[in-house]
């Protein structure tokens, strides 16, 4: 395992992986970040494809990631995280909608929200695209300002221009 620190518009990101697959992408001072001692050797040249794709994403040049992912978690968590990958760029869904997409009962929404909050590969598994049923931003392990930044970044250019006026 190796990890690299990557600068981004939302602060430093820690990219963690083994071989060619990522197992973590963590925001500086985010919640649920494991101890760096478990990330392996630091090598800021490691994971070049992930670093390049993140730079393209933040530049507005990439909407999908192709880096292989290997998130670690329970079977339920991995199921939720796979569903996150199905939320299209520039779109959002509520926790309830995500729960329904998984074929679960409405009572499972808290479990789905909990798994969403423990997503170890933020941005690439776009947990920032999950919002409250009323359209408000709710919990985000990286903080609500970062969630808002990512959602704004993914807005179509015409929608971004409307925010300015």
162 within some domain: no
161 within some domain: no
The answer to whether the CB of 16 falls within 8 A of the CB of 9 is: no
Give pLDDT, residue 36.
Answer: 87
What is the pTM for the complete model shown?
0.90
State how many domains the chain has. 2
Q: Which of 15, 67, 127, 131 is catalytic?
A: 127
The span from the CA of 2 to the CA of 75, in Å, is 24
β-pairing, 41-42 vs 93-94, is: unpaired
99 within some domain: yes
Based on the residue annotation, tell me whether 93 is a catalytic residue of this protein. Answer: no
Q: Determine the structural domain holding residue 23 and report its residue range.
A: 2-58
152 within some domain: yes
Give pLDDT, residue 34.
Answer: 85
Give pLDDT, residue 19.
Answer: 83
Give the mean model confidence (pLDDT) for residues 120-140: 92
66 within some domain: no
Asked if pLDDT for residue 64 goes beyond 60, the answer is: yes
Confidence band for 163, pLDDT divided at 50, 70 and 90:
low
Structure tokens at 110: 């808290």
C-alpha distances in Å from residue 153, one per residue of 3, 37, 76, 123: 25, 32, 29, 12
Give pLDDT, residue 165.
Answer: 47
104 within some domain: yes
50 with 89, same domain? no
Give pLDDT, residue 72.
Answer: 93
H-state helical runs in the chain: 48-58, 75-84, 95-101, 109-117, 144-153, 157-164
Judged by average pLDDT, the poorest of 1-10, 41-50, 149-158 is: 149-158
Q: What percent of the chain has pLDDT above 90?
A: 79
Whichever domain contains 105, its CATH number is 1.10.10.10
Provide the CB-side half-sphere exposure for 55 (13 A, CA): 9
The span from the CA of 50 to the CA of 91, in Å, is 22
Asked if pLDDT for residue 108 goes beyond 70, the answer is: yes
89 with 19, same domain? no
89 within some domain: yes
The span from the CA of 135 to the CA of 114, in Å, is 18
Confidence band for 20, pLDDT divided at 50, 70 and 90:
confident
């Amino acid at each position: 395992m190796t990890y690299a620190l990557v600068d981004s518009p939302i602060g430093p990101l820690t990219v963690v992986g083994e071989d060619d697959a990522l197992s973590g992408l963590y925001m500086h001072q985010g919640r649920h970040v494991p101890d760096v001692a478990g990330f392996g050797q630091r090598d800021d040249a490691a994971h070049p494809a992930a670093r390049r794709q993140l730079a393209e994403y933040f530049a507005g040049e990439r909407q999908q990631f192709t880096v292989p992912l290997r998130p670690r978690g329970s079977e339920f968590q991995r199921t939720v995280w796979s569903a996150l990958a199905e939320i299209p760029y520039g779109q959002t869904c509520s926790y309830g909608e995500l729960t329904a997409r998984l074929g679960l009962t409405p009572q499972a929404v808290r479990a789905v929200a909990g798994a969403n909050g423990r997503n170890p590969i933020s941005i690439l598994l776009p947990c920032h695209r999950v919002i409250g049923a009323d359209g408000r931003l709710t919990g985000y392990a990286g903080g609500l300002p970062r969630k808002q930044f990512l959602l704004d970044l993914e807005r179509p250019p015409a929608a971004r221009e409307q925010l300015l006026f």
